[in-house]
Amino acid sequence: MISETDIAYIAGLFDGEGSIDFKKRKEKKRNGTYDCWRISMEISMTDESVLRWVHEVLGCGTVIKKPRKGLRKDGTKYLMQWKWRCTFRDAYYVCRLLWPYSHTKLPKIQKVIDHYGDIKVMNGNVIDLESYKLWMSAE
């Protein structure tokens, strides 16, 4: 069970350093071209240990190195950046967790939640958003 404090911290981190990609794109498949949803969320930063902790606490997504691009004006290299990323239903699971604590990313988080509706998420649990809102306001 993830502590409320950890979820709130990750929500704040995501509001400041994260992004959500929620777009419909055309993709070629064997049977033709289709409109497909691309849903992902990520946090990028130079502190690898924080992203490893996020990955461990949430239990989903991946942590990878981001390639460095170019040099600073003074000729020195940029610091190594790291990226935690999750997609599709894992993103839905994370959005459900972050929803009560999010501010700047709340509109996009709500879009992801609305897209999936009431479906099974991690460990086979079904989460109803209205029940979740009531449960959070009661505490």
pLDDT in tens, 34-84: 778 889 999 999 999 999 999 999 999 999 998 877 888 898 888 889 999
The amino acid at 97: L
CATH number at residue 61: 3.10.28.10
Print burial letters for 80-101: b (CB count within 10 Å at least 16), e (below 16).
ebbebbbbebbbbbbbbbbbbb
Q: Would you say 44 and 85 are in contact if contact means Cβ atoms under 8 Å apart? A: no
Q: How far apart are CA 113 and CA 119, in angstroms?
A: 10
Give the count of domains, the chain.
1
pTM: 0.76
Q: Is 33 helix (H, G, I), strand (E, B) or coil?
A: strand
Q: What is the DSSP letter of 16?
A: H
Domain assignment of residue 69, given as a range: 4-138
Q: Residue 94's pLDDT is what? A: 95
